[in-house]
A and B are shown apart, each in its own frame.
Chain A
Amino acid sequence: MHARPVSANLPFVQTYEADGWSALGDQTRRAIFTRLADRPSAVGDLARELPVSRPAVSQHLKVLKDAGLVLDRRRGTRRIYQLNPKGIAALRADLDRFWGKALVAYKAAVEQSTKEDS
């Protein structure tokens, strides 16, 4: 149980944009994220299941939280992490925004060319 490697060289980027896609670019964070999708968990639960130290899990959770992907709440003496449903929606919102904008421009182009021809 104590043989689990400690991540001395954690590839941690301090200056992540608050961007869900970027936050999920890291393999360990994806693993944490996937476990939280299965069930809300405390830091200790995640550290037991994953080959990373408890402080490393805390760091990753902070990145996920800053990106709006997870939420935490206090339950007794424990802090429980879970997925933030609005944060997941934010991943889609980027493309949602893109298509909304693109189709407005598309409509203008179509109707402009129709007028020119008529």
Chain B
Amino acid sequence: MSTQAAETSVRNDVVVEAPIERAFSVFTDDIDSWWPREYNLLEVDIAERTFEPREGGQIYDRGVDGSECHWARVLAYEPPNRIVFSWDISPRWEIEADPAKTSEVEVRFVAESPQRTRVEVEHRNLDRHGEGWEGIHASVSTEGGWAYTLQSFAARIQT
């Protein structure tokens, strides 16, 4: 039986040639400069994307017509080492209003040298998005899932 099926998290990491403070501030303050624009839940183009830099803050998009889409709650804000935010987006890329059905993302920043930082992303509790996954855990071994995911990421980032 395949063992790759049961994981309820996605992990990814990337090494950037920058000090940890810079890596942290680009991820948060400058989120608008890199977060893929095509992932837009508004009906209009995004004018601005904002990361409120505090626990209890939000990450939200404001459209060119002034409409807003709040798609994440900042659960932990610990510069320059760690952030955690909720992922209030359903598997169909729509806003999920029920917090019980949201997953969460933890981002850890690790200084490998004064000029190099490893950024680790763990998007976890994906099973909360749908009840259908509950049975999987019971029946399928989870070993091997992480290794598979990390390998595929390593391959992607090297290319």
- The CA of A106 and the CA of B6, in the complex, are separated in Å by 29
Interface residues of A in 84-102 (CB under 8 A from B): 85-86, 88-89, 91-92, 94-96, 98-102
- The CA of A111 and the CA of B156, in the complex, are separated in Å by 18
**A contact residues, total (Cβ < 8 Å):** 41
Partner of A95, one of B35, B123, B130: B123
**Interface residue stretch chosen among B26-34, B59-67, B68-76:** B26-34
Interface status of A22 (Cβ within 8 A of chain B): yes
A99 with B22: in contact, given A30-B130, A30-B131, A107-B16 (CB under 8 Å)?
A: no
- Taking a contact as CB atoms under 8 Å apart, the answer to whether B132 and A29 are in contact is yes
- Taking a contact as CB atoms under 8 Å apart, the answer to whether A92 and B27 are in contact is no
- The CA of A35 and the CA of B134, in the complex, are separated in Å by 10
Interface status of A38 (Cβ within 8 A of chain B): yes
Interface status of B56 (Cβ within 8 A of chain A): no
Interface residues on B, range: 35 or more
Q: How far, in Å, is A89 (CB) from chain B's closest CB?
A: 5
- The CA of A98 and the CA of B16, in the complex, are separated in Å by 18
Partner of B2, one of A30, A85, A91, A99: A85
- Tally of A-B Cβ pairs under 8 angstroms: 129
A38 with B138: in contact, given A22-B92, A30-B130, A104-B157 (CB under 8 Å)?
A: yes
User: Which residue of chain A is the closest to B155 with respect to CB atoms?
Assistant: A100
- Taking a contact as CB atoms under 8 Å apart, the answer to whether A108 and B34 are in contact is yes
- Taking a contact as CB atoms under 8 Å apart, the answer to whether A89 and B5 are in contact is yes
- Taking a contact as CB atoms under 8 Å apart, the answer to whether A89 and B12 are in contact is no
Q: How far, in Å, is B115 (CB) from chain A's closest CB?
A: 8
The 10 residue pairs across chains A and B that have the minimum distance between CB atoms: A21-B91, A37-B135, A85-B2, A34-B135, A109-B34, A88-B5, A24-B132, A30-B132, A85-B5, A103-B14
Apart from A21-B130, A85-B140, what 17 extra A-B contacts exist at CB < 8 Å?
A24-B130, A35-B135, A85-B1, A86-B2, A91-B133, A96-B10, A96-B152, A99-B123, A103-B121, A104-B157, A105-B35, A106-B14, A106-B16, A106-B35, A109-B30, A110-B23, A111-B17
A interface list, Cβ under 8 A from B? 19-22, 24-25, 29-30, 33-39, 83, 85-86, 88-89, 91-92, 94-96, 98-111, 113-114
